[in-house]
Amino acid sequence: MLRTVLAVALATALLATALPVVDSARTTHAERTVENELRHLDSAATRLADASDPVPRDAPGARREHAVVLPQASWGTAPLAALRVPPPGSDEAISYRVTGGNWTTFHTRSPVPVVGPPGGLTLRDGGRHRLVLTFQRRAGRAVVVVRRPDV
């Protein structure tokens, strides 16, 4: 009986020690996943801007479909809490937060700003998201607009 109690106590102590480490690893893994997806999105925006001319907002112009796969809750990955692409004219950058983590800013390397539609774009769920990138001229400035395909 004493061995059983001792084994349970030891197992509980080991689990209590390991859980914060596992939770931190889940958050770190999810943050790296989001960063990687945003780098791919940034590359797609750069290729679009390099190969096209910006068009007025309502004119059909260059567009590219792009999919991002954002983290969902699993044993090894924390879920995405939110990803925000700021509206045109905003001084903000793309930002995201993974559950259990802090808000992180992602600065694009694209030669033109990468923005969302008016009002911005917020993704709150993990999984696969289809996005459309268009190269437009907004307020006399060339921008790559990221939006959902149904908008």
Coil, strand or helix: which one is 39? helix
What is the residue-level pLDDT of the chain in tens, covering all 151 positions? 778 877 777 677 666 665 666 677 889 999 999 999 999 999 999 999 998 888 777 777 788 999 999 999 888 889 999 999 999 888 889 999 999 899 999 999 988 999 999 999 999 999 999 999 999 988 888 999 999 998 6
Cβ neighbours, 10 Å, residue 123: 17
- Angstrom distance (rounded) from CA 114 to CA 49: 10
Structure tokens at 85: 């692409």
pLDDT of residue 4: 84
**DSSP codes, 3-22:** HHHHHHHHHHHHHHHHHHHH
Tell me the residue length of the chain.
Answer: 151
Cβ neighbours, 10 Å, residue 37: 21
pTM score, whole prediction: 0.83
Measured at the CA of 12, the angle between CA 74 and CA 30, to 5 degrees, comes to 20
Where in the chain are the domains?
26-147
Structure tokens at 142: 């060339």
Task: Tell whether the torsion through CA atoms of 146, 148, 149 and 150 is positive or negative.
Answer: negative
pLDDT of residue 22: 64
